[in-house]
């Protein structure tokens, strides 16, 4: 094959899924000449599994991506067809936005955004090798056609394409997701270059024709009457929404599945990859929870321009005849017409412990990694890593300090720290319970936490920055106004009593009154007729910061303690092996992982509190000598 040099870029992004798109946009917006390659342009920002963005923990990630100047929030706001705020009966820290997407339109919208982006070229092409070595790092990428692009940094975001293999029943064949071609040669080439790989697995349920389903036998699930935007840039996202549907499996479904356990590729021994516990196939659900009488099945539209419906909760690797049979036992699915079968897919990924905190591979300078390639799962987790990989590739090329978000600053920080410091043995999914500073890391304040930092990086547009500054000022002014606004008890009690609270005897500021559980910003409007008209985002911030001030302050104090060790930087060239007093396990782990801070070191498994004390003494010793 003749090599054809087709040009030079600062950064080449391999893969245009949710990670790749954010990486490429961030790099181009920060001024780097960027190329993004996809095996097939139809695969750009494709949602190969569920047609939804957001959810618990994940919705937080989307808001953070948006606050930093990323694209996911804007794209879903334009293309959602149903939206719900989850967990509204719970505290504001776990309110989570989730939207059903029109898959086709999401793909088109994102593709067009890439196409229009200055400094960025989106091109179809299959990368079969990355030209790199351990000394000089990345030099370029080679395509299947012999085309060669020179570059200094690569962001690899290959998702389930890399070494992809699909399983349905007793069949297994090389394939990318949804029948697209897999990236097989690149998988081999990376192994040859000495990149240690492992195998993970995931799966997706069948898609069925809407006209073949009987919705009268299912429960309807509607979107929120007043949908809430993901992006801090958007205010009104009202539109006509479409319903989702809920039905359940039963004993008969389970009988058929059980009788065919041995025909599942999962139990038949074909699959070697590790699957996620939180996204089990229906056969693993039955195997692990034999006593559960029924399982939920959500029927969700794939978009407005298609009849295809997604059967959430029923991913499977059983043969197609069994799939057909068990789906038909479910109320409303008796006459189901499947148009795409459920399948399991296995793919190559790395151990994220091999990464630096800036997502650059430890062994290959210039090789940045994101998404499922790093062992995560989910569109939002991928997008967050893509954004961070893109940003850090730029900073690395410019010889600047890496951009790190710590665990107290964002879910993005929790995600990267969990992956890179602790590692994962299954595809990693974000959950609100993973964030220890949850009360501060809310989705309502993601812009307050991160937009200034995005601006400093050069990612946040003037328009977004101005919106952020004016929202922030509006919030501060309104809080100050509410603190100063005294309300007479007789006036306050009109609302308090109506809302079922016990009346107050003394006057108080409205801010003080808002701390009562029965009062909200919205239901106190009548006793505060002078209040300014504020946007959704500002109203939410005002209410939450006033109402939960006590808890938030308590958590801020914990964060200050956390920051103490987090801010103690560890020089890159420390020789841990020579540090007398560290236990051997700690020496080895620290040498391998090379944490950036003492705080990060303390979270590595096998490093004890006493090791940290010894480390502190060594740092001081080195500083003085």
Parallel, antiparallel, or unpaired: how do β-strands 127-133 and 96-101 relate?
A: unpaired
Out of 59, 69, 280, 319, which residue is the one contacting other proteins (CB under 8 A)?
A: 280
Is residue 569 part of the contact set for other proteins (CB under 8 A)?
no
| Residue number with CB closer to other proteins (353 or 534) | 353
Is residue 610 part of the contact set for other proteins (CB under 8 A)?
yes
- CA angle at 89 for the pair 100 and 540, rounded to the nearest 5°: 75
Is residue 564 part of the contact set for other proteins (CB under 8 A)?
yes
User: Residue 474 belongs to what H/E stretch?
Assistant: helix 462-484
| Least distance from other proteins to the Cβ atom of residue 61, Å | 14
Is residue 283 part of the contact set for other proteins (CB under 8 A)?
no
Is residue 616 part of the contact set for other proteins (CB under 8 A)?
yes
Determine the size of the site formed for other proteins (CB under 8 A).
59
Tokens for 311, please give them: 């059967």
Out of 279, 342, 414, 604, which residue is the one contacting other proteins (CB under 8 A)?
A: 279
- In whole angstroms, give the CA distance from residue 131 to residue 147: 12
Give phi and psi for 318, each to the nearest 5. Answer: -75, 155
Could you please report the per-residue DSSP string of 560-612?
A: HHHHHHHTSB--TT--GGG-TTS-HHHHHHHHHH--SBHHHHHTSTT--HHHH
- In whole angstroms, give the CA distance from residue 426 to residue 275: 6
Do 206 and 196 meet the contact criterion of CB atoms below 8 Å apart?
Answer: no
Radius of gyration, alpha carbons of the chain = 26
Out of 144, 362, 434, 531, which residue is the one contacting other proteins (CB under 8 A)?
A: 434
| Residue number with CB closer to other proteins (431 or 574) | 431
Is residue 433 part of the contact set for other proteins (CB under 8 A)?
yes
| Residue number with CB closer to other proteins (122 or 279) | 279
Out of 288, 400, 486, 488, which residue is the one contacting other proteins (CB under 8 A)?
A: 288
Total number of residues shown for the chain: 625
Out of 278, 470, 484, 571, which residue is the one contacting other proteins (CB under 8 A)?
A: 278
Is residue 611 part of the contact set for other proteins (CB under 8 A)?
yes
| Residue number with CB closer to other proteins (230 or 437) | 437
Is residue 184 part of the contact set for other proteins (CB under 8 A)?
no
Burial 544-560 (b: 16+ CB within 10 A, else e): bbbbbeeebeebeeebe
Closest CA to 84 of 48, 63, 54, 62: 54
| Least distance from other proteins to the Cβ atom of residue 612, Å | 10
Is residue 208 part of the contact set for other proteins (CB under 8 A)?
no
> Is the CA virtual torsion 361, 432, 47, 107 positive or negative?
negative
Segment interacting with other proteins (CB under 8 A) among 5-13, 125-133, 158-166, 289-297: 289-297
| Least distance from other proteins to the Cβ atom of residue 91, Å | 3
- In whole angstroms, give the CA distance from residue 590 to residue 571: 12
What are the CA-CA distances from residue 407 to residues 147, 381, 418, 551, 566 (Å)?
42, 15, 9, 18, 10
Place of tokens 């990060």: 600
| Least distance from other proteins to the Cβ atom of residue 379, Å | 13
| Least distance from other proteins to the Cβ atom of residue 566, Å | 12
Helix pair 446-457, 58-67: axis angle to 10 deg: 40
Do 34 and 8 meet the contact criterion of CB atoms below 8 Å apart?
Answer: no
| Residue number with CB closer to other proteins (156 or 345) | 345
Segment interacting with other proteins (CB under 8 A) among 67-75, 187-195, 271-279, 482-490: 271-279
User: Residue 62 belongs to what H/E stretch?
Assistant: helix 58-67
| Residue number with CB closer to other proteins (94 or 322) | 94
- In whole angstroms, give the CA distance from residue 177 to residue 182: 8
- In whole angstroms, give the CA distance from residue 310 to residue 178: 13
| Residue number with CB closer to other proteins (20 or 57) | 57
Is residue 432 part of the contact set for other proteins (CB under 8 A)?
yes
- The answer for 366, left when phi > 0, alpha when psi is -120 to 50, beta otherwise, is left
Is residue 313 part of the contact set for other proteins (CB under 8 A)?
yes
Do 451 and 469 meet the contact criterion of CB atoms below 8 Å apart?
Answer: no
Segment interacting with other proteins (CB under 8 A) among 75-83, 179-187, 380-388, 426-434: 426-434
| Least distance from other proteins to the Cβ atom of residue 312, Å | 5
Tokens for 110, please give them: 């994102």
| Residue number with CB closer to other proteins (149 or 428) | 428
Is residue 614 part of the contact set for other proteins (CB under 8 A)?
yes
Do 32 and 394 meet the contact criterion of CB atoms below 8 Å apart?
Answer: yes
| Least distance from other proteins to the Cβ atom of residue 30, Å | 34
How large is the greatest C-alpha to C-alpha distance in the chain, in angstroms?
A: 87
Is residue 454 part of the contact set for other proteins (CB under 8 A)?
no
Binding to other proteins, residues 484-543 (CB under 8 A): 517
Out of 112, 226, 255, 294, which residue is the one contacting other proteins (CB under 8 A)?
A: 294
Is residue 48 part of the contact set for other proteins (CB under 8 A)?
no
Binding to other proteins, residues 78-117 (CB under 8 A): 86-87, 90-94, 96
What is the Cα 577 distance to its own chain's centre? 36
Is residue 258 part of the contact set for other proteins (CB under 8 A)?
no
Is residue 439 part of the contact set for other proteins (CB under 8 A)?
yes
| Least distance from other proteins to the Cβ atom of residue 401, Å | 24
| Least distance from other proteins to the Cβ atom of residue 429, Å | 9
Which residues is 236 bridged to in the sheet?
A: none
Residues near other proteins, by CB under 8 A? 49-50, 56-57, 86-87, 90-94, 96, 205, 276-280, 285, 288-289, 292, 294-296, 298, 312-313, 315, 422, 431-434, 438-439, 517, 548, 551, 555, 560-561, 564, 580-581, 583, 608-611, 613-614, 616-618, 620-621, 624-625
């Amino acid at each position: 094959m003749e090599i054809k040099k087709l040009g030079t870029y600062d950064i080449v992004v391999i893969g245009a899924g949710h990670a790749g798109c954010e990486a490429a946009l961030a790099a181009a917006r920060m001024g780097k000449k960027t190329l993004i390659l996809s095996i097939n342009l139809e695969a750009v920002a494709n949602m190969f599994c569920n047609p939804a963005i957001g959810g618990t923990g994940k919705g937080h990630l989307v808001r953070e991506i948006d606050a930093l100047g990323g694209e996911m929030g804007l794209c879903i706001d334009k293309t959602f067809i149903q939206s719900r705020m989850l967990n509204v009966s719970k505290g504001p820290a776990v309110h989570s936005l989730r939207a059903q997407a029109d898959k086709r339109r999401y793909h088109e919208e994102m593709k067009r955004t890439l196409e229009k982006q200055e400094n960025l070229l989106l091109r179809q092409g299959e990368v079969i090798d990355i030209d790199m070595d351990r000394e000089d790092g990345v030099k370029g990428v080679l395509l299947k056609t012999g085309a060669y692009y020179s570059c200094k940094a690569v962001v690899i975001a290959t998702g389930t394409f890399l070494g992809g293999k699909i399983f349905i029943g007793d069949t297994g064949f090389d394939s990318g997701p949804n029948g697209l071609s897999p990236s097989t040669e690149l998988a081999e080439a990376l192994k040859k270059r000495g990149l240690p790989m492992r195998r993970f697995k995931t799966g997706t349920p069948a898609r069925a024709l809407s006209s073949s389903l009987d919705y009268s036998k299912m429960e309807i699930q509607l979107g929120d009457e007043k949908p809430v935007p993901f992006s801090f840039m958007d205010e009104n996202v009202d539109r006509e929404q479409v319903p989702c549907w809920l039905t359940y499996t039963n004993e008969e479904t389970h009988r058929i599945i059980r009788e065919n356990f041995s025909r599942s590729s999962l139990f038949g021994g074909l699959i070697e990859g590790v699957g996620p516990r939180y996204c089990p196939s229906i056969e693993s659900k039955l195997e692990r929870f034999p006593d559960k009488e029924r399982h939920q099945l959500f029927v969700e539209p794939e978009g407005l321009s298609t009849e295809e419906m997604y059967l959430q909760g029923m991913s499977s690797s059983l043969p197609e005849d069994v799939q057909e049979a068990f789906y038909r036992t479910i109320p409303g699915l008796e006459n189901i017409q499947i148009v795409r079968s459920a399948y399991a897919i296995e793919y190559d990924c790395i151990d994220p412990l091999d990464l630096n905190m800036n997502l650059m591979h430890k062994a290959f300078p210039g090789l940045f990694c994101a998404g499922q390639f790093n062992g995560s799962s989910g569109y939002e987790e991928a997008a967050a890593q893509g954004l961070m990989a893109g940003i850090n590739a730029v900073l690395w090329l410019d010889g600047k300090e890496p951009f790190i978000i710590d665990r107290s600053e964002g879910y993005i920080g929790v995600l990267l720290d969990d992956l890179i410091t602790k590692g994962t043995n299954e595809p990693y999914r974000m959950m609100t319970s993973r964030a220890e500073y949850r009360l501060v890391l809310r989705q309502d304040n993601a812009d307050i936490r991160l937009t200034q930092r995005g601006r400093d990086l050069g990612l946040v547009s003037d328009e977004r920055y101005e919106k952020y500054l004016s929202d922030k000022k509006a919030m501060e002014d309104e809080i100050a106004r509410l603190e100063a606004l005294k309300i007479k008890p007789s006036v306050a009690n009109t609302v308090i009593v109506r809302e079922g609270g016990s009346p107050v005897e003394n006057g108080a500021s409205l801010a003080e009154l808002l701390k009562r559980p029965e009062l909200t910003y919205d239901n106190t409007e009548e006793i505060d007729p002078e209040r300014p008209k504020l946007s959704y985002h500002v109203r939410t911030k005002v209410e939450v910061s006033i109402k939960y001030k006590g808890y938030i302050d308590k958590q801020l104090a914990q964060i200050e303690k956390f920051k103490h060790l987090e801010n103690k930087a560890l020089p890159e060239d420390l020789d841990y092996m020579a540090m007398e007093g560290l236990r051997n396990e700690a020496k080895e782990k620290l040498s391998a992982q090379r944490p950036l801070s003492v705080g990060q070191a303390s979270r590595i498994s096998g490093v004890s509190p006493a090791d940290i004390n010894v480390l502190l003494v060594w740092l001081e010793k080195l500083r003085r000598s």
